[in-house]
Structure formats: C-alpha cells, structure tokens
Amino acid sequence: MINSSEMERPKLVLIVDDQELNRDALESILEEDEGYNFIFAENGKEAMDLIREHQNDLSIVLLDLIMPVMTGFEVLKALRADEQLKDIPVIVLTAEKQAELEALDLGAVDFITKPFDVPDVIVKRVDRMIKLREGQHLIRSAEKDPLTGLYSSNFFFEYANRLYTNSSEKHDAIVLNIEQFHTVNALNGRDFGDEVLRTIGDEIGIFLTETEGLASRIEADRFDIYCLPQPDYLALLERIQDRANTISPNVSIHLRMGVKPYREGVAPVLMFDRARAACSMVRGNYQKPLMIYDEDMRMQELLNQRLLNDLRTAAEKRQLMVFYQPKYDIQCEPPRLSSAEALVRWNHPEMGLVSPGSFVPLFEGNGLIGIVDSFVWQEAARQIREWRDKYHFTLPVSVNLSRSDVMDPTLIDRLVNLVESNNLEFRTLKLEVTESAYTENAQHMLDVIRKLRSLGFEIEMDDFGSGYSSLNMLSDMPIDVLKMDMKFIRNIEENETDRRLVSLILDIARYLKVSVVAEGVETKGQLEILRAGECDLVQGYYFSKPLPPGEFEKLIQKEIAIERN
C-alpha cells in the first residue's frame, strides 16, 4: 500500500533515446519540476535492464521507438509480456504517425511528438500519466488484502458480480475456513497465525493460476473463492490442507470447506451466503470437513428462515406450548412423583407440531432462544401456581437457562419478579444450565448462578458428562443437582463400561453432595441398576413421555391418591 511518504518522494523518470541531444532536451524540459529524478538509457536493452532494476520505484518511461540493439517496439512487447512490468506507463517519442498507432496498440499510454517544441504540453502529459499511475497504485493497494495478496471483500464481490454478469462460463462459490483459528493465534502467537493465512492464501493463488476465478480473504480466517466448477472439491480441500500442514510439525491446522455450485439466477452474494452455511454445518467435523450445498440444504434453509420469521408471532399467539415430563424419586417404593421438566413444543398453524430439535438449536444459534425461554418460564410458573391452588400439591418444575439468558443484565430481576408475582417459593422453579455453558462463559456464568442460588433457586447442571468439566471445576460450580446425560443410560444393561461410567458419575455426585437425575430411562432393568447405584431421580419413557398439562394432571391426581392411602 502506498503511504503519504511514498507519495511525496521525487518521481523517477526513465528517458530512453539513442540521441544524447534528445535525452538532454527532455531532462531540461522536465527538471523545472523539482519532483522528478532521472535515469537514462541509449537503447532498448539498457532500458529493460534499468526497468527491471527500478521496477518498484519507476514512475514512467519516455521511450524512443527507433534505436539500435533493441527498438522501442521490442521494449513494449517485452513489457506487455511481463506480469510485473506491464503496468509501468510508457510514453513513446516519435515523429511518425503510423508508429504512434502501432505503439499504442502495443500498450503505450500516450505519445510525445518530435521535435520537442511545445514544452508545456510535454510537462502536462508526463505529469498526468504519473498521477494516473499513482492513482492505480492506490486503487490496487485498497483492492488487495496486504497479508495474503488476495482481493479485499468489497472489490472481490464487485469483480465477482462483473464475472457473473459478463462471462458465459459458470462459476461455483467456495468458502474455506480455519477451525478454531482464534485458538491457534492464542497458543502460537499472531506472527504464526499470519504465516498460516499467508500460506493458505498463497496456495489459493497458485490454484487460481490453473483455472479462471478470483479469491478473497473475507474475514480473519475465512477465504472465498469464485471459480469454474471443479471435478473434485475434496481433492482441492486436501491440497490446501496439505500445504497448511507444512507450516509446522507441532501445530495442527484443520480446514473446512463449503461449496455452492452454480445455479442460474443466483448472484454471487447469495451463493457465498449458502456456501458459508454449508461450511458452518461441518464445523468441528474433522472426519468430513466438506459440505456441498444441495437442494435438501436449500429446503432446510427456507424452513429455518420461516421459523425465524414466525417465532415472535408463535409466542404472542401461544402457538408455543409447554409439555411436562415427570421426574420420579426411585429411592422409595413405589417411586414417587418428585418434580417435572418443562419442555417446549410448537404447534405451527401450517406445519403442524414442529419438533424442538428443529427450532431450539436454530434459535440458540441466532440469539433468539431467549424468546422461547421467557415463554417457558412464564408458563411453568403459572402452571406450578395453578396446580398448587387446584390440588394443594406443589410440584417443582425445571426450566432451561441458556447462555444468552445469562448474558442478559435483567435476568435476575425478571426471574425474581416471575416467582414473586405467582406467589411461589424460589426452590419450586428449578434452573437447568448445560455443562458446556459453565465452561464457555466461566466467570460471568458462575457469578450469575451464585447470585440466583443465594436467592433460593435450585440449580441443575444439565447434560452432565457431555462436556469437559474437570473435578476441580465441578467443586467450584454452584449446583444442587447433576442431570446425567441419557447417552450413559442407553446401554447400561449390556455394556459394562457404561455401567462403570454411571457408577463413577454417582460417586462424583456423592463427593459433591448433590442429587442426580438420570435422563432417558426406558426399561425396568435400567431403573434397577440406577436404584442399586443410589441414583436419586429418573425421568424417561419408562414412567412417562412429556405430557401436556391436562394429561400431566392425571399423574398428580394419582400421586395425591397414593399419599391419602
């Protein structure tokens, strides 16, 4: 990139003419402008040597056409054939009209007529061409990412749109991303990270010399490539991955790629949005790091957008519903209804019952899960109050607390107001937080949870065993209940390793002096193993699937009947 100090340096002018008189005359005309420095050549060969020597500093070449050893025409041809030299502006010196036309065809930018009898015109033409040259440098410096030499994002999409509009060829969109690049930078330093980016950019540049296309470093670790369709995108990814692997034997660099094949009528910006979506879908998948956007993905994307658009209406018009799955205390006989978990459902007016697996991860990824959570909290609190008033039976209910909820500065006040406005005890609204949320938002998460717990809320760690908590971390986490991930329960009747893992988790809970809820219990055999291991509570289809409030009431009625007997 050209900076202000470079712009203020004297302009270097090469004057090429076999007649010393002509060289002196041009120098005399131009030296009145103190902004010029001069070098000279007597023939084309000398000129080419000087051009190569000063290519980074040269502002302009004033070139005679008829010279011994190597003519001016030959110099123009040599410059045009050299990628590094072809943009240096050349003004030809001639008295022949036909020679002027031929020189312009070979790439000359202007001409000065011999004899040099109009000095002011010569000065103006040289000055104008040098300013154009400087302007081109400034534009090109803005066009390119200084680290990789690839296009910057604005220019990339401008040129991609031109290619899309003007080329008869079809082009595909590729998005390449580096897994956990921020971690690579943090562990190995910024200089190492820059070397990774340069190396990947260099390999992409080499690839583009083999096919029509262009590329950009769009963000810190994202590369976009717009190129002719390739026969094997996995081979291209492996090629760039192999190059990245050469950077250091001690650091693992993992790449992932999303591809949106050409489709008529789809402009580059939209193509790259879809390629980026495909690339995001293989985040963390080191076994299958390539995804090609297809019709199924397009339909899923349309569905996702529809759900995002309809969410607020769903909450306002109560299309969202809360089902309740009971939790039973299994350390008594018969097992007793102890509490429940609130689970959201969506009864869409056109799509019917939408699975939470279709919309909960979507809203978590788009920062809208707070709308769902807030709806569930309000419904659960209202339902606890309603059952208490109707049956004189207080059933605690667990609700989810997402990472985005914890970042809301109004969270504590909202939850306190919810409990107090329904005249509930704090312990009756249990708050479930996933294990991964503790590890990802460490200190802030711990501060908020400690405050909530000090008010009387009970805290459950959901999906325990699916994250990366260490015993040291667990000892610092303010929790009352561990919810054992259902993957540990699924095979405990047949698999000795899973039984041992369950036993270990129960031992950890005893060490921490917290209760354990086992999720996904479906058989009597699973129940008996958990009971023998002194697990406190279970939930799962063995007792009941999630139920709407009206059906759940039958479980409450049954529990009341047992108590009376």
Q: What is the pLDDT of residue 439?
A: 56
pLDDT of amino acid 451: 94
pLDDT at 467 over 90: no
- Residues 360, 443 within the same domain: yes
Host H or E run for residue 292: strand 290-292
Residues 173 and 218 in one domain: yes
**Residue 300 within any structural domain of the chain:** no
Clarify whether residues 328 and 250 are in a common domain: no
Alpha carbon distance 281, 38 (integer Å) = 59
Structural domain includes residue 364: yes
Considering the domain architecture, whether residues 243 and 352 belong to the same structural domain is answered as no
Kindly state the average pLDDT of the residues 371-396.
95
CATH number at residue 58: 3.40.50.2300
Q: Are residues 124 and 190 in the same domain?
A: no
Q: Would you place residue 456 in the very low, low, confident or very high pLDDT band (cuts 50, 70, 90)? A: very high
Contacts of 3 (CB under 8 A, 6+ apart): none
Question: How high is the pLDDT of residue 434?
Answer: 79
- 135 and 160 part of one domain: no
Q: How confident is the model at residue 294 (pLDDT cuts 50, 70, 90)?
A: confident
Last residue of a domain, one of 293, 311, 341: 293
User: Mean pLDDT across the stretch 462-486?
Assistant: 71
Whether the bond into 115 is cis, omega within 30 of 0: yes
Which tens digit of pLDDT belongs to each residue from 100-153? 778 888 888 888 878 887 788 888 888 888 777 766 655 555 578 888 889 888
Flag whether 303 is in a domain: no
Domain range for 443 is 320-564
Q: 305 lies in a domain?
A: no
Q: In this predicted structure, what is the pLDDT of residue 385? A: 97
Query: Does residue 436 have a pLDDT over 70?
Result: no
Do 282 and 161 lie in a common domain?
yes
Please tell me the distance from the alpha carbon of residue 274 to that of residue 280, in angstroms, as a whole number: 10
Which is it for the CA torsion 84, 87, 93, 95, positive or negative?
Answer: positive
Residues paired with residue 321 on neighbouring β-strands, in sequence order: 345
Q: Mean of the per-residue pLDDT values for the chain?
A: 86
Residues 464 and 539 in one domain: yes
pLDDT at residue 547 in the model? 96
CATH number for 181? 3.30.70.270
Tokens 């409990």 — which residue? 419
Among residues 104, 125, 143, the one where a domain terminates is: 143
The residue with greater pLDDT, 153 or 329, is: 329
The domain that holds 387 is classified in CATH as 3.20.20.450
Q: Spell out the SS3 assignment of 103-170.
A: HHHCCCCEEEECCCCCHHHHHHHHHHHHHHHHHHHHHHHHHECCCCCCECHHHHHHHHHHHHHHCCCC
Domain check: are 431 and 529 in the same one? Answer: yes
Give the model's pLDDT for residue 471.
54
- My answer on whether 177 and 137 are in the same domain is no
Candidates 461, 311, 469, 466; CA nearest to 401 is: 461
**pLDDT for residue 535:** 93
Residue 298 lies in a domain: no
Contact 203, 209 (CB under 8 A): no
Higher pLDDT, 60 or 539: 539
Q: Which of 52-66, 265-279, 521-535 has the lowest mean pLDDT?
A: 52-66
How many CB atoms sit inside 10 A of residue 419's CB? 22
pLDDT of residue 442: 65
Query: Of 38-47, 275-284, 342-351, 438-447, which gets the smallest average pLDDT?
Result: 438-447
- Summarize the confidence of residues 143-165 as an average pLDDT: 85
The continuous run of DSSP H or E covering 440 comes out as helix 435-440
Rounded (to 5) percent helix, strand, coil in the chain: 50, 20, 30
Q: Are 68 and 137 members of one domain? A: yes
Are 163 and 135 part of one and the same domain? Answer: no
Q: Compute CA 37 distance to the chain's CA centroid, rounded to the nearest angstrom.
A: 49
Highest average pLDDT, of 284-298, 367-381, 439-453, 462-476, comes from 367-381
Residue 314 belongs to a domain: no
Q: Is residue 447 part of a domain?
A: yes
* pLDDT level of residue 440 (50, 70, 90 thresholds): low
pTM for this prediction: 0.58
In a domain, residue 399? The reply is yes
Q: How many domains in the chain?
A: 3
Measure the CA–CA gap between 309 and 320, rounded to whole angstroms: 14
The residue out of 125, 143, 161 marking a domain boundary is: 143
Report the pLDDT averaged over residues 457-483: 74
Residues 209/225, Cβ–Cβ less than 8 Å: no
Q: Report pLDDT for 383.
A: 97
Q: What is the largest CA-CA distance in the chain?
A: 124
